[in-house]
Amino acid sequence: MIHCGPMKMLTDTSLRFLFDGIDVRGETVKLGSALVDMLGQQPYSKTVTRLLGEFASAAVLISNNLKYEGRIILQARSSQAITLAMVECSSEGHIRGIAQGDIQQESTDPMSLLEGGQLALTIERDQGQRYQGIVALENGSLAEVLEAYFAQSEQLGAKFWLASDGQTSSGLMLQQLPAQLSEGTAREEQWHHLCTLAETISSAELLDLPSETLLFKLYHEETVTLYPPTPILFKCRCSRERSANTIALLPESEKADILAELGEITLTCELCGTSYRFGPEVLETAASTPEPTDGEARTLH
């Protein structure tokens, strides 16, 4: 049984929970200032902020599957108005993200800005291999796309409920665990029952209700174990070292021309707005780290 009295809304947190006696785990997330900080780096339309808000909640929910230090990257590419939408969440609860293309485009359906594209889910370990799975953006909502991905890659049921108004975003995920407590028909009936209850929640309730209140509303007849909330914050992985490596990849003549004209080379991270300035020391400097990933958008001037 979930016990909760009057609850203070805890934003920028995720909350893990486990159903006692049922092979199902869950996660909720609520983002506020962390999302605003992430979105404040670019002049996004309301539609694009809603889109990135859902991506952010989904990335946080999925990142809690990480059993090691690393990150989850949700990255969609399309030939529509938005050519790239990317949000990353690390095992430390740090998020960052960006959209590229016609970022001031409006639509009643945010996912229509990515119609016909592909979603890549990348798992990066700080020490270890990199894994990526790809699924077509053809099922409508981001939640449905992710459910299709988990069905084909994990062979275990996963359901998502996502909501965003551009200033806040929330999400709920239920995921089947490997069969240990029940099997066959009983296992599927339990899963169907929990998902059916979650389907009764509205987007407004998902955004407005504190996580424990939401779970009590849905599962007050179940016995649920709640784990301590995990803080989420906006934090970029850019650094002076990474920026120096990017500059080192430029032809020497191009670096010399920029220095001659401007006196310095400035690299600005489009994900967080931090600028790194370099002088003549960058000439004849060899690259020492890999090229930035697609998610590390930078402006050179």
Instruction: Please spell the DSSP secondary structure of 84-119, one letter per residue.
Output: EEEEEEETTSEEEEEEEESTT---SSGGGGGTT-EE
Q: Residue 261 has which token pair?
A: 């004209």
H/E stretch holding 159 reads: strand 158-164
Nearest Cα residue to 5 out of 259, 177, 210? 210
pLDDT score recorded for residue 140: 84
pLDDT at 1 over 60: no
- What is the H or E stretch that residue 151 is in? helix 142-153
pLDDT at 7: 46
Common-topology check for domains 13-234 and 240-300? no
Distance CA(207)–CA(188), nearest Å, equals 29
The architecture of the domain spanning 240-300 is Alpha-Beta Complex (3.90)
**pLDDT, tens digit, for every residue of 162-188?**
999 999 999 999 999 887 766 778 888
3-state helix, strand, coil in the chain (%, to 5): 30, 30, 40
Per-residue tokens: 155: 């062979």
CATH of domain 13-234: 3.55.30.10
pLDDT score, position 284 = 67
Question: Which pLDDT tens digit goes with each residue over 12-39?
Answer: 999 999 999 899 999 999 999 999 999 9
Quote the pTM value. 0.88
Q: To the nearest whole number, what is the mean pLDDT of the chain?
A: 88
Measuring CA to CA, how many Å separate 272 from each of 1, 34, 42, 208, 237? 42, 12, 9, 28, 9
Per-domain boundaries in the chain: 13-234, 240-300
Cα 119 off chain centre by: 12
More confident residue, 208 or 127: 208
CA-angle at 156, arms to 151 and 161, nearest 5°? 70
